[in-house]
Amino acid sequence: MVAALATLLWTRPANAGAVLTAADVERIIAQAVAEAERVRLRVTVAVVDHEGNVLGLFKMTDARDDITFRGFPKKRQSEAVFEMQQGLEGVLIGRVPLTGVLHVPGRCEGGQPTAPTELVRTGAAVAAISKAGTAAFFSTQGNAFTPRTAAFIIQPHFPPGLKETASGPLFGVQFSSLFGCSDVSSRLPLGLSGDAGGLPLYKRGRAVGGVGVEGDGIYTLDFDPRDDDVTKEELIATAAARTFAAPPHIRADQILVGGLRFPFANTRETSGRSPPAGFLTGKGTALVGSVDAPPSRFRRARLGGVAGTVDPCFFPPVGSVDPPVAGGGLSAEDVSRILTRGAREALRLRAAIRRPLGDHARVNIAVVDRGGGILGIFRTLDAPVFGFDVSVQKARATAFFSAPLAGEKLAALGNFTVRQFVAAAASDGLHLDGRIAYTDRSIGFIARPFFPDDIDGTSPGALSRPVETWSVFNDGLQVELVRPFFLSVVTGIPPELPSTCTGLSELKNGLQIFAGSMPIYRGSTLIGAVGVSGDGIDQDDAVAAAAGAGFGAPPALRADRVFVRGVRLPYFKLPRRPERR
């Protein structure tokens, strides 16, 4: 069955067309440095390919090394509540002892390079890489997004600053693709960024990478998109992307969700000549010399007649690798059918965040067993790279929270703050003991600073911090699980944790808290989960529901049969008019 459904074309890397060359990278950096001199800001500039590989990194002479995390508005810095932060808020990163290779367990032997090595030792460098990677990971042939776009969709209100509205659709996405943490896509030192100063790069109309700029020392986001503020870092990034700019018709400001127009950049492209050869001599130090983009990690493949791309580490599908369960786990044939149903549903669905209008959804689909082991990942053509890690995070979160020992395992970490979240959930009647089947939409609903999500002035969800201490770097259980490991990466001090970044083998690449997953059952026994990421979250839910058809949780176990503080928990939310016309 698997052989019949899956056709692999290993000789065709996904980036076999346009790619960035060393000469391109040199030109992009030179354009950035020329603009930095014009606006009088010393910066560090990073250029990455579409998959986050660093192709060039340049630090101008006298550019500052440090950054400080600021995840809430500046006006709150003087408040006493600032001292109460326990996330990453206010953390200063100067010199960073990053290593360059992460071992990827499973079907991939050895390690894969994930970041520059010895010379990348500054907060500014890792911020620039993360900004560049964010722009690259979010952008495709159908949409071009930036860190400014990301900031718009990760805050506690959507749009930011407008009360009595739900949180952003990708609330929590910033803690994904973390360097040293993810066993799926360990690329970005600080995760996905909302700090303006990054733009996607296109070549011959193809998404080929991103450029990121850091120089002001504050790693933050735009809290009020209505003021159209212009940052020097974004001006420099815009100049850097000259001749490699995103096609205007697919930029974020041409895409509306719920009647809201996404932001792209608060700058305009300017014409001008590229600096001459040798311009960078004497301007600073190349922390990573300019190189050609390597071949893509992804290969062309077909699954059940659907064209896509796959990483050989996670494809073809395999059967369950966790301990045997009553009634059996997932076979390779089961996994292949789940992935195929999801891919076919994506082709049927109208995309929410792509141009042209009427295009179909493009997503990453992951299946895990009940212990979080990856059984297969399939990407429909042109699915955004950010969703590769996120789809696995969603599937693992769903499998973990639906399992009988979730609460016990969280409490056993020995982290007092984590135990507080577990206790808060129990006080709401959510004992995390296998009696409730959760989707990631359910989990996310109790991980928001207001409960229910769009009602200001209410108490926080059990897994969130109160809004008084909440920030995008201090959002509750999600950040608490990765905080010790994250700080170890940027300080060089080993965490007091087991071998995974969360301390939980079931959540190896962190916890994700926005919609797009479904637990998989055989009868009343949990045997795994499917996670989907890449388009609107309602589309992700729809693909997950279609993929898991026939493996649904018993109705009595579903989270939407449960009331918390008089409010019914959600399970799925599907598009009103899903089909393409």
Q: Quick one: DSSP state of residue 232?
A: H
Lowest mean pLDDT among 193-197, 226-230, 307-311: 226-230
List, in order of start, the domains of the chain with CATH numbers. 17-288 (3.30.450.150), 299-402+513-554 (3.30.450.150)
pLDDT value of position 579: 77
pLDDT value of position 120: 55
Of the candidates 180, 258, 512, 256, the residue with the CA atom closest to the CA atom of residue 366: 512
Lowest mean pLDDT among 7-16, 188-197, 404-413, 515-524: 7-16
Q: What is the DSSP string of 55-108?
A: EEEEEETT----EEE--S-GGGTTSGGGGG--SSTT-EE-B----SEEE--SSS
Token code pair at residue 82: 């600032």
pLDDT value of position 7: 57
Rounded to 5°, angle at Cα 210 from 204 and 214: 145
pLDDT value of position 12: 60
- Tens-digit pLDDT profile for residues 155-184: 999 999 899 999 999 999 999 999 888 999
- Tens-digit pLDDT profile for residues 110-119: 444 444 444 4
pLDDT value of position 457: 94
pLDDT value of position 104: 40
CA distance 507 to 393: 7
Of the candidates 123, 300, 131, 126, the residue with the CA atom closest to the CA atom of residue 201: 131
Lowest mean pLDDT among 1-15, 108-122, 123-137, 498-512: 108-122
pLDDT value of position 515: 98
Q: Is the pTM of this model over 0.85?
A: yes
Note the Cα 455 to chain centre separation in Å.
Answer: 26
List Cα–Cα distances, 105 to 67, 317, 471, in angstroms: 32, 16, 33
**Residue the block writes with tokens 């108490």:** 459
- Tens-digit pLDDT profile for residues 396-421: 999 999 999 999 999 999 999 999 99
